Structure 1
């Protein structure tokens, strides 16, 4: 039996660890047929299930159809019947003065869902232990990696925060930013109202500009938290701008208070919808910032001893594109196939590099799309969004691109391809985007 360590118990690390410890067919309601034989897997987690559930929220997340299918196939879609089914995405579109103007909403081809990672992480940790996996609880630092890796056939590091991720060198070719592009503030709430015309759970996005300058974005989405369905509000604030009021890391009540103040002043329509909201619990808020980065996937932690990075440890994107959990699921599923398909061959540095390179063929599209959204919108993107407000076909294609950003390379990411698509769709707009 091959020994594998997974360091980090988030979306990617738990998905991989559970895939390496499949339950016997028929032993659980979500059995995985034809799964590989179990590996001797040790999972390193910072907190116990009880600590996770009683702590603060870990992220915002929207998982689209393809990522949900990966969880479903692995027998991990434990909350599928309880979480709201997000059926549409709506976007306000900035007019030439950069204030919210017209907009569009389109249906998703497959429903999306958002599950509080406190719920998912705690549940998956318990499931992993029930499947016979071993969990070591506590903090792991860079100094611990040589000893861990020396005792294993393969060690995978799946945490993108703190000093542990720094063992992987920054890849400057794919990392254009050296500081955060957004300051983040999220709160899980109840009491928001749906806009007229939206008949069910959804995601809506509104850009905010002040005096003609982009200041960030405001998101509302439907989710499942510890005690049932809820909504999530999220600010993506340009650092130093008028929406960046979160440096003191306020708690849930204060996040709601400041959110309502910002909405009243900047987005009165959203204020009317959100004015009755209240936090779901004492840990419902999360504030902070991250620097988007792509890191080298393999680190030598001792002479001749290597570890492989997974998920946010090596590809960390800003949440503005809503791709974090989706990318983590894809990465975990890909690594699992690579591991179980490798037989008894050594998990050497060459295998590690090839495994990540194959995953990067998809992940690079996610990174390119996210980085595009973090900067000023190119003229061709402004033309696409203007066309989407007038042409449902364009709106539908853009909205469903969030489910798999790789497809956006065919028409959205390049000005010539975008204009060719708009012309073919009868949705061309003037070059100034008007």
Structure 2
């Protein structure tokens, strides 16, 4: 049995100590300040949304009304915040996250790797790399609010620090019309492709530090749904009395991605526009089903730097179905499937092939009380590029979270994740084992 390193022992001791700490009061994020509520009004544990938080976002950052019982017409969207005055402190928020990590990457026998591609950790052997580190994961500034007595709202997300860089992550304006039980929105700007969209099993931001592999898989074309392109998003939402059932549809048209996987932010020679669509149905205490698809294209540079380098434009397809159900307001069962099919060319004059992947995810989250949860998840994906043999990627993780304030704006989390990646192009595999203890502060 492997002996724990001193750094890991210290981190585990700190985690156990803080889990038993009393929960003092503290400052709350902007939307909670504005409406005088706790974070749990819209989140199971931030940032995972519940049904009320989903509806809050669909209404353009307006709180769903309590009195919608069907006895009279639901209030207009523009009147939902008529009694709330605008203020800077209720529109701006700061999120910071720091962590301790212990990471080890091991290559399969026969593979050649000197270190993890995302770290500068020292290599134990030619086949493995490991390190422990304390990190500032993120510091982000948010500015979001409605324009009182109108249907307009806005949202801006600026990364002050993430992965050694700072830039605008999101910035868009929204117009929301109709009534609280039947409304539509038009959103224009730079926005996340999948953030807060879909029911909880389809959401990128969840109880774990990173999205599910099934949702965020980066294919050999360097494409992932984990992106924030420029585009237009439109949607319609219908809710029954007391928001017991919610049906919503959305569609986005975006500029898509550059050859290196970054978002196209300005004019480009890429004429085709990428399309994403989603249909959500929320029911019961906090359950839901999501069906989603993506169709786009992306330039690919093949054999970069070699004498036989060439480029081509690949069509990209994604289709998935996801569902969750919350039992007894404590046990959340989540699952989903994602199908990927992208064009692939081994050589410019040769026959075309396809990258085909079938990904499955399952997750179980148990909430002992508001702000305290344990979670476990498993992802498995098969990946093929003919005529190469099939490669398998598997990822699993366990963890626990504890809010350190009664308001839910300071959260301590400990997780262990293991992921074995099979590369369908190089036909090699690596296994990454990551223990992470992080603390997130939201003001």
Q: Same fold (TM over 0.5)?
A: no
Structure that is richer in strand per residue: 2
Relative contact order higher in (CA < 8 Å, ≥ 6 apart): 1
TM norm structure 1: 0.22
User: TM-score, normalization: structure 2?
Assistant: 0.22
Structure number having the greater helix percentage: 1
